[in-house]
Amino acid sequence: MKIGNWIFYSLAAIVSVLLLAAWYLLGLNHVDEPLDLVVSIIWWVVIALGIVIIFQVEKRRKERIRTVYVADDLLFNSEKGTVSYEEQASLSGEIKRVLNSLDYSFERHEMPNSQAFSFKVRTSRLNGQEWEGDVVDSATRQTRPFANREELMRIIG
């Protein structure tokens, strides 16, 4: 999640706790109906659900950004645009370089002719040497998972 989201939800939770504490300290729990406590608990559930939803949406957005389309002599990523590469041997290194340079911004490049791409590499996790995802063959629509760089190179050749 973005830092602004964390700040917003943290402030909402703190204000909710402070208002509930004030409600008890001022003795309003003896005067009012218990509806105030119920409303406060519902508000906490709303805050927790908001955090979970934003976290899941952000995770899916980042996974979509980490998708790289592979053609014979070029790569395409929605954030970085078209990137050319020299040799087949450097293909996985070039894909990893593109993925490591992502900023996860909201700017997108238009995809060139999608028929020219032979593979779509979707990365679900990339942490140092750990690299997991799957490869979709454009011709057959067959999806094959990979768990490291070597498996990726065996798939895309």
Instruction: Return the pLDDT at 143.
Output: 93
For residue 120, the tally of other CB atoms under 10 A from its CB is 18
Instruction: Return the pLDDT at 32.
Output: 62
Reported as a single tens digit per residue, the pLDDT across 102-129 is 988 888 998 887 667 888 999 998 887 8
Give residues with Cβ within 8 angstroms of 126, minimum separation 6.
66, 96, 99, 100, 132, 133
For residue 5, the tally of other CB atoms under 10 A from its CB is 14
pLDDT for residue 53 is more than 70? yes
Within its chain, how far is the Cα of 143 from the centroid?
Answer: 20
Sheet holding 68-70, edge to edge: 81-84, 74-77, 68-70, 119-127, 130-137, 143-146
| Pair of tokens at residue 104 | 């996860």
Q: What are the angstrom distances between the C-alpha of 124 and each of 10, 57, 131?
A: 28, 14, 8
pLDDT for residue 145 is more than 90? yes
Window from 12-26, 33-47, 69-83 with minimum mean pLDDT: 33-47
Reported as a single tens digit per residue, the pLDDT across 54-63 is 889 988 999 9
Q: What is the largest CA-CA distance in the chain?
A: 77
For the chain, first and last CA: distance in Å? 35
Place of tokens 């942490």: 127
Mean pLDDT score of the chain: 85
Distance (Å, whole) CA 10 – CA 47? 9
Window from 2-16, 29-43, 138-152 with minimum mean pLDDT: 29-43
| Pair of tokens at residue 29 | 């729990």
